[in-house]
Amino acid sequence: MKTRVFHAAVIFLILLSTAAAAQKRRDNFSLEARGYGGYLFENKVDFKNHFFGSADMTAGFTSDLTGGDAYSAAYGYPTYGVGACACFLSDISLPEPSSLGNFYSLYGFFERDVLRYRNFTAGYSLEFGGAYNPVRYDPVDNPQNYYVSSVIMVHAAAGLHAKWSFAGNFEAGLRFRAKHYSNGRSALPNYGLNMLEAGLSLGYYFISDRRSGGGSFSDGTADFEIAEKTPSVKGFEFHITLGAGPHCTGSDWNRYNRRVKEPAERETDFRMYPRFSISADAMYRYCLKAGTGLLLEAFCVPDIKTLEKNDRAIYGDDAVEDGPGYSPFSMGIAVVQEFHFRNFAVWGALGIYPFKPKLGLSGDVSWNYQKGGVRYYVPKWGDIFFGLAVKANDFQESEYMEFSIGIRL
């Protein structure tokens, strides 16, 4: 208990100092404490129990009408900022002698109210960042912890909230959140952790009365002035993107772990192989916030010889010769959706391979794939952007984390 209080205090001090350092308009900042109870879904390992607790602290900035920001008006004056989370998954019991450690996350969040009535608001939120867990997989001491094989992992979450303001500065809330932890297949094993959480929150807004003076509740005058300044963005736009990321192949895992009988002789650190992609998309921007289009991309798997070598060791030469073959190149086509907020964009793609990739008997792809990530358009560099995304297969298994650079035409 004392350890958890200490962690909560550290998180609070970090976020408080972050807010103070970044604070340019004090009346728009807020701090919020959140407490959750959660349920962890099983994934290939039988848990003895499924319930755990977690705690968050966030520092937010609420968009202001006086800034004349068209994006803020389009989203109903959202709140965005940074958050920290301590997720106590050590409360989950794995088969002996294995254990899960606690996750400590630092993430960015975006929160929007879609319903307002007097002192009541309701809406949604998105979170994305990094997570740390010191308790890792070990074939001898922690053989059932297939969920933590790297020090740094991804924290991704989406949530719903309902809040009630009182005493001018305070806001109490009920929250629901779906959360995922994964390393994006930058290490093995890579079983993802999926959970649902419900909890309570208490926030403090530095404005004296957010309901009467905050930008989120306007009389419409400033909204009209912003609408007059809103740029015309409707029409087609195009992106060309180069991407690369690390991938740990399942064929290495099968060769060096599943076929090795002695746990002490199994591998814990696997080589990361590069994955490359080049893509072009045509997107129709139908409003300031969003656009939809089609994506055509080509993928390159440089370690194709390693896949073949591992297949021959695992399955034998005859099975390899009768298999699907080996080619480092493949193509995909996808429907892509992008949501914009100022210089940031959140996007996702649902894709298929017109021709199934030829990655042998141990290929780590299926007939369909998904991508999701964020982009940042650099203001001083025109339409050049940097991105981070996760590519997955069959809605269930990460293939790699993709770092990208591109241009909007």
Range 239-262 average pLDDT: 93
What whole-number distance in Å separates Cα of residue 183 and Cα of residue 151? Answer: 9
Residue indicated by tokens 């006086």:
66
Please give the model's pTM, rounded to 2 decimal places: 0.86
- Specify the pLDDT at position 225: 54
Range 140-165 average pLDDT: 94
pLDDT tens per residue, range 35-82: 999 999 988 898 989 999 999 999 999 876 555 578 888 888 899 999
pLDDT tens per residue, range 297-314: 999 999 999 999 999 999
CB 406 within 8 A of CB 384: yes
Longest dimension (CA), the chain: 76
Amino acid identity of residue 243, one-letter, is G
- What are the structural domains, with CATH classification, of the chain? 2-228 (2.40.160.20), 235-408 (2.40.160)
Which of 234, 171, 225 has the alpha carbon at shortest distance from 202?
171
What whole-number distance in Å separates Cα of residue 312 and Cα of residue 322? Answer: 12
- Say yes or no to pLDDT of 122 above 80: yes
- Say yes or no to pLDDT of 337 above 60: yes
- Specify the pLDDT at position 14: 47
pLDDT tens per residue, range 366-398: 899 999 999 999 988 889 999 999 999 988 889
What whole-number distance in Å separates Cα of residue 291 and Cα of residue 281? Answer: 11
What whole-number distance in Å separates Cα of residue 355 and Cα of residue 365? Answer: 12
CB 315 within 8 A of CB 361: yes
Task: Give the DSSP per-residue string, 278-307.
Answer: EEEEEEEE-SSSEEEEEEEEEEE-TTHHHH
Per-residue confidence band for 231, with pLDDT thresholds at 50, 70 and 90: low
User: Could you say which DSSP state residue 10 is in?
Assistant: H
Q: Kindly report which listed range (224-238, 353-367, 390-404) carries the lowest average pLDDT score.
A: 224-238
